[in-house]
Structure 1
Amino acid sequence: MAGKSLRKGRKVSWKSHGETVHGTVREKITSRTTTAGRTVAASKDEPQYRVTSDKTGKDAVHKPGALHPE
C-alpha cells in the first residue's frame, strides 16, 4: 500500500498470528522511537505506522506494506 494514503484516522487491516485484524491508523512514525511496547527503527525514508486494533484497543506498529485499506 502506498504510504501517502495511510493518514491518521484511516481504517486498515493487517495480519497478526494468522488472523486479520481491523483497526485505525493513529500516527506516522518517521524517527527512531519507543511506542507500542517496542523500539521502532523508523525514518523519513522508511516510515512505520502506529495502529490501534478495533477489537482489543491495543497498539501495534507496522511497515506500510503490511497495512491494507478498508
Structure 2
Amino acid sequence: MTKSFKKGDRVTWQSHGGTAEGEVVRKVTEDTELAGRTVRASKDEPQYLVRSDKSGGEAVHKPSALTKKG
C-alpha cells in the first residue's frame, strides 16, 4: 500500500545535504508543471508538493521518499 499524506502534514526526506524537514503543501494527482519540472502523477500514483522549513523552497516527491514526523 502506498503511503498517503495530507496538506499540513510534517514530513522529512533525504536531500543533498542530509535529511530535510518541511510541510506538505498539496497532493498532486495529475500531470502538471511544478517546482520547475514536469510532474507525472495520477490518482493511483500521486506525488506531493512539499515546502522546506530551512530554505522555504518547494519540491515534489513521491510518497516513498517521504516520512511522516511524529
Asked whether the two chains share a fold, i.e. TM above 0.5, the reply is: yes
Question: Hey, what does 2:65 align to over in structure 1?
Answer: 66
Distance 2:3 2:47 in 1: 12
SS at match of 1:7: coil
In structure 2, stretches of 5+ residues that fail to align are none
Aligned residue pair count: 68
TM-score with structure 1 setting the length: 0.93
Residue pairs, 1:1-70, within 5 angstroms: 2-3=3-4, 6-70=5-69
Query: After TM superposition, where is structure 1 displaced by more than 4 Å over at least 4 residues in a row?
Result: none
Distance 1:10 1:60 in 2: 15
Identity, % of aligned positions: 56
Per-residue CA shift, 1:17-69, capped at 9, x if unaligned?
15000000001000000011110000111000000000000000000010001
**C-alpha distance in structure 2 between counterparts of 1:17 and 1:8, whole Å:** 24
Unaligned residue ranges in structure 1 (runs of 5+): none
3-state secondary structure, aligned to 1:45: coil
CA-based RMSD of the aligned residues comes to: 1.1
The aligned amino acid for 1:29 is V
Higher helix share goes to which structure? 1
